[in-house]
Structure 1
Amino acid sequence: MAATCAAALVVALMMVSWAAVLAAASLDTSPVPFQAGFMPLFGGDNLVRSPDGRSVRLKLDRRTGSGFVSKSAYHHGYFSASIKLPDDHTAGVVVAFYLSNGDVFPRNHDEVDFELLGNRRGHEWRVQTNIYGNGSTSRGREERYLLPFDPTLRHHAYAVAWTPTAIVFYIDGTPIREVVRVPAMAGDFPSKPMSVYATIWDGSAWATEGGRYKVDYAHAPFAADFSKLVLSGCPAAVGVGGGGGGARCAVAVMTAEFAVMTPAKRAAMRRFRRRHLLYTVCHDRVRYNGTVLPECDDADGSERDDFHRWGESKRVSHSRRGYRQPQQLQREDKDAAGGRPSTWPIGSLRAD
């Protein structure tokens, strides 16, 4: 079935004229007002819109978390949000920006995740990416990273570029992970239309050191701010036929700047991963009894020596990165935070 759909898509794309391709090159990636593209999902008054309608605050307290969802589902595209995370003690808190169709396909859903994982006071937030296709939750494809900045001081952009052939995760315009679709992935590659979600919720059971540290509601409410919301995709209602509109959109997505991995982008991605990648399923020889997921690319084994057999990095760790806190950095961070001292100085991570 997946092969038939892929073949149909290729045929549809081949029927698109070059004029249509050129016309589609101007894919709009500008932010949209909340009301234009999204609607509240849950949380009641824990979802607070800004007066201008262009940003949203999501809060978590003892009563509930909160979230919003796009009004449309999309069949590929580029989706982004600038997010400022809560500071202080955030163990167990999960802030997520992701694509999913779990409401439509509860037993065989697709998903593409950014999950931002809180931590104890003075410890670093971590970022986790993941994908599921056709309900493949038993074959999780997680990766976790540390960040080269304090995500609680200002907004940073987290984006997903999803095309028929690859998924690329971006942070502040730098690609951090590329999942290339290979035939052996079959239905594990997300292929059905998905909506765009943003949530904050209690992940005490697993989010911080496997559930060792829970959400402490003495520090609530926890608030995450979302702005510059981008929905640049192919609406699911158009499809890949329908007079060529869906095919033109698919071509526009596949040829857009965010989907094309240039040599410079790949070099930037390698640098980020070498400095900040904490865990990758691609080097986890324990989880799936030595089986390597088909999209993992380390044919010569050059990366393997940098990872333990359970997938954790030997180079990047909480205990080895450390912090430098010279007075100058502290003054700069205090100024950047509007006068409050930062518990996590910018630029203080020892990545190498």
Structure 2
Amino acid sequence: MDMKLIAGNSAGTVTTLYLSSDQSTGTHDEIDFEFLGNVSNQPYTLHTNVFSQGKGNREQQFHLWFDPTANFHTYSVVWNPRLIMFLVDETPIRVFRNHEKYGVAFPKNQPMRIYSSLWNADNWATQGGSVKTDWTKAPFTAYYRKFNIDACDGPNRASLSCSTRGTWRTHDLDANGRKRIRYIQKNFMVYDYCEDWKRFSQGYPPECKQPRF
């Protein structure tokens, strides 16, 4: 999906693009792009998360290396049995691997739909909730275009675009991709749940102990 975010004072707002299964079950799966607004001239925070079997708490956050309000940029997810990969303008920024053999639930059995939303979350979104939404700046407008899905599994796959049929199941980072993701995470990541000892003082989640790229 190509997106252009709210310009100016966007504090308190959250603009999203995400995949989710049925949330009424209590054991839903979810893959999140959430863009946390900020006061004018301060960077957006790109908040990513993965839920599996109703369990989330796997946040990684980034400041982007461009102004996401000036032009459209492309935000993508690769989701296959091996991994979930988040990409910005085809640059990988995060990988969540399938570590089921270590007891980590991985989204693979529940079909997910694609959603977008724009909502008020000024109790937490901007600087921990200390900056509230300035409603005199409304309306807040985000733009979406050029949605594309390449889905090559399931009962209706014959009717979908499957240009990568046969390769999507094994799609992974190559050497260049690993180099790029290391650079992004070193220079633009601002929060990683796998480094939050205060939050996980009883021990990090098991996937944090495994290779991540």
Report the alpha carbon displacement of residue 188 of structure 1 after superposing the two structures with TM. 2.8
User: What fraction of aligned residue pairs are identical, expressed as a percent?
Assistant: 33
Contact 2:100–2:106 at 8 Å: present in 1 too? no
Alpha-carbon distance change, 214 to 144 in structure 1, aligned in 2, over 3 angstroms: same
* Alignment of 1:183 onto 2:183: no
Q: Which whole-Å deviations, capped at 9, do the CAs of 1:72-96 have from their partners, x for residues lacking one?
A: xxxxxxxxx1110111111111000
Q: Which whole-Å deviations, capped at 9, do the CAs of 1:204-252 have from their partners, x for residues lacking one?
A: 11101121111111000111010110111146445xxxxxx69xx99x5
Contact 1:168–1:179 at 8 Å: present in 2 too? yes
CA distance in 2, matches of 1:148, 1:93: 20
3-state SS of paired residue (1:270)? helix
**Residue 265 (structure 1) aligns with:** 177
3-state SS of paired residue (1:229)? coil
Contact 2:81–2:169 at 8 Å: present in 1 too? no
**Residue 106 (structure 1) aligns with:** 25
Choose which of 116, 123, 135 in structure 1 pairs with 2:35. 116
Mapping of 1:69-218 within 5 angstroms?
81-103=1-23, 105-137=24-56, 140-184=57-101, 186=103, 188-191=105-108, 192-218=110-136
- How large is the Cα RMSD of the aligned pairs? 2.4
* Alignment of 1:282 onto 2:194: yes
Report the alpha carbon displacement of residue 256 of structure 1 after superposing the two structures with TM. 3.5
Report the alpha carbon displacement of residue 290 of structure 1 after superposing the two structures with TM. 3.8
* Alignment of 1:224 onto 2:136: no
CA distance in 1, matches of 2:43, 2:201: 31
Contact 1:84–1:152 at 8 Å: present in 2 too? yes
Q: Which runs of 4+ in 1 moved over 6 A?
A: none
Larger Rg: 1
CA distance in 1, matches of 2:135, 2:170: 39
CA distance in 1, matches of 2:39, 2:196: 26
CA distance in 2, matches of 1:141, 1:253: 30
Alpha-carbon distance change, 102 to 288 in structure 1, aligned in 2, over 3 angstroms: farther
Alpha-carbon distance change, 110 to 170 in structure 1, aligned in 2, over 3 angstroms: same
Contact 1:168–1:259 at 8 Å: present in 2 too? no
3-state SS of paired residue (2:187)? helix
Report the alpha carbon displacement of residue 296 of structure 1 after superposing the two structures with TM. 2.0
CA distance in 2, matches of 1:285, 1:261: 28
Alpha-carbon distance change, 196 to 154 in structure 1, aligned in 2, over 3 angstroms: same
Contact 1:193–1:236 at 8 Å: present in 2 too? no
Alpha-carbon distance change, 186 to 230 in structure 1, aligned in 2, over 3 angstroms: farther
Q: Which AA in structure 2 matches 1:100?
A: S
Alpha-carbon distance change, 279 to 285 in structure 1, aligned in 2, over 3 angstroms: same
3-state SS of paired residue (2:206)? coil
Question: TM-score, normalised to structure 2's length?
Answer: 0.89
**1 or 2 for the larger relative contact order (CA 8 Å, sep ≥6)?**
2
Contact 1:285–1:292 at 8 Å: present in 2 too? yes
Mapping of 1:296-315 within 5 angstroms?
296-297=208-209
State the aligned residue count: 207
3-state SS of paired residue (1:147)? coil
Question: TM-score, normalised to structure 1's length?
Answer: 0.55
Answer 1 or 2: which has greater helix percent: 1
Contact 2:12–2:131 at 8 Å: present in 1 too? yes
CA distance in 2, matches of 1:175, 1:204: 29
CA distance in 1, matches of 2:132, 2:22: 26
CA distance in 2, matches of 1:169, 1:254: 21
3-state SS of paired residue (2:183)? helix
